Structure 1
Amino acid sequence: YNDLLSQLCRAVYIFLNVNKISYIDCPISILAGEHLTDNFKNNINRFQKLPCIIDDNDFKLSESVAILRYLCEKYTIPDHWYPRNDLTKRSKIDEYLEWQHHARLGCVLYVQNTLFKPLRGINIPENVVKRSKVNMEIALDDIENIWLANHTKFLFVDQITIADLLAVCEVEQTKMTGYNPYVGRPNLKKYMESVRELINPIYDKAHEKCFKFIQNTKL
């Protein structure tokens, strides 16, 4: 269950498709509030959030990080995504996954306050928008100056992991508002290009909705 306007849904979507894991796609419209119905709450996800999955024997799971870890354990996929037998590498990935909440809070609040809430007719005070922008830029600067400080191709040297999917989808959404996350962040720009090049055309397919918003902000 997903809406590809959600950066977390896009990360799971990309992982499933890159690794050729079969699934039934169940699109849900966040803007239409389809995840807020009683049917969704009672039968799909009690938290009424996306993404979520229903797997074998009616096993239900929500939260993108939990879903990605579950898929890594269940299916035979390349070990670099989330190493099973290397505690050190896996722990470094986990470190980012825990830190990711800082990036998500900063980026998603800015996108909501400048794009999605106004689309629903909700007026956001200017001081709230400015504060959310500051928090977003702190998160982006941390990715630029801390996580990518060694100028590596991916977050963890030379192989992509589930952490990279969450990171790039988080950053990509900021462009929907007309914001350019690459200004003053050359490491971030190079990094985003590396990930996109590796997993295209799936990357672009996952971001079609985002790209439409980005194009509209340029008109």
Structure 2
Amino acid sequence: MAGRLAVKAYLDLLSQPCRALLIFLKHNKIPHTVERIALRKGQQKTPEFTKLNPMQKVPVLDDNGFILTESDAILKYLATTYNVPDHWYPKLPEKRARVDEYTAWHHVNTRMHASTVFLQEVIFPMMGQPTNPAKFEKSLADLDGTLDMLENMFLKRQPFLCGDDISLADLLAVCELMQPLCSGRDILKDRPKLLSWRSRVQSALSDSFDEAHSVVYQIREKFTAKL
């Protein structure tokens, strides 16, 4: 948009929604700057950041003084404010509703279950807390249920989660499903339909996908080297 200043994104790329936001900004060539917030150092709890977002979470978007939190809201705002291809968040009500349907489901399914596996297998041990085998097995079972639903409902008759082209739903989902890879665990390896979907998403996003996920690959190398 002419005369509009670059948006500022506050991100930690170990965060799945932060990666989704960075990919969207880069892929769609939306002018932006990035402020890194290191969650592991507690930078989200500083007075300056807390003033910006009292919830002390990332990502946060600053669009010329308009402050927005929550990745779902941020991505939808950018998709409707900037001149990006319609397939990301379609204007047609029925197609847009499909994206909203997935993103409403996403938070307590794909995001919650993939995150729990990552926390129990990577973060807790890093903090000196041993993984509870029973809880971990339940987390894997819960995640399997979510993967079944992705295959049998969302990808039942279409190449992407909400239709024939990539949308915000695919972007949010793929970043979550990449997270367990930090431990070397590819949760999609025995699921051909989801593997094909991930390949389509990666291909659609080109270089921005691997750039944003470089931190995941680095952690995987360190984690698997210890095994």
TM range (shorter): over 0.9
After superposing the two structures, state which structure 1 stretch, 108-117 or 32-41, moved more.
32-41
Task: Determine the structure 1 residue equivalent to 2:159.
Answer: 153
Q: Does 1:54 align with 2:54?
A: no
Corresponding position: 1:73 with 2:90: no
* Equivalent pair of 2:183/2:224 in contact (CA under 8 Å): no
Shift of 1:205: 0.1
Q: Does 1:108 align with 2:115?
A: yes
Identity of aligned residues (%): 36
Which AA in structure 1 matches 2:211?
K
- Residue 119 (structure 1) aligns with: 126
How many residues end up aligned between the 2 structures? 215
- Equivalent residue for 1:33? 42
CA drift of 1:18 comes to 0.8
Confirm or deny that 1:128 pairs with 2:135: yes
Distance 1:163 1:180 in 2: 20
Higher strand share: 2
Match for 1:135: what amino acid? D
- CA-to-partner distance for each residue in 1:181-201, whole Å, 9 max, x for gaps? 223311100000111112111
- Alignment partners' CA distance in 2, 1:18 and 1:96: 21
**CA distance in structure 1 between the aligned counterparts of 2:56 and 2:129, rounded to whole angstroms:** 21
How far did 1:155 drift?
1.5
CA shift, 1:113, in A, is: 1.4
Answer yes or no: is the 8 Å Cα contact 2:160–2:166 preserved in 1. Answer: yes
Give the structure 1 partner of residue 32 of structure 2: 23
- SS for the counterpart of 1:105 is helix
User: What SS does structure 1 have at the residue aligned with 2:39?
Assistant: coil
Amino acid of the structure 1 residue aligned with 2:20: A
Q: Residue 204 in 1 paired to residue 213 in 2?
A: no
Unmatched 5+ residue regions in structure 1? none
**CA distance in 1: counterparts of 2:71 and 2:12, whole angstroms:** 13
Where does residue 182 of structure 1 map in the other structure? 188
2:17 counterpart of 1:8 = yes
Is the 1:141–1:185 Cα contact (8 Å) retained in structure 2?
Answer: no
Gapped runs of 5+ residues in structure 2?
1-9
CA distance in 2, matches of 1:38, 1:163: 33
Cα drift, residue 73 of structure 1: 1.6
Residues 39-97 of structure 1 show CA distances to partners (whole Å, capped at 9, x for unaligned) of 3112x2111111111122x221110000011101211111111112x000000110000
Q: What is the Cα-based RMSD across aligned positions, in Å?
A: 1.4
Q: Partner of 1:193 in structure 2?
A: 199
The answer to which of 74-83 and 121-130 deviates more is 121-130
| One-letter code aligned to 2:43 | E
CA distance in 2, matches of 1:32, 1:121: 17
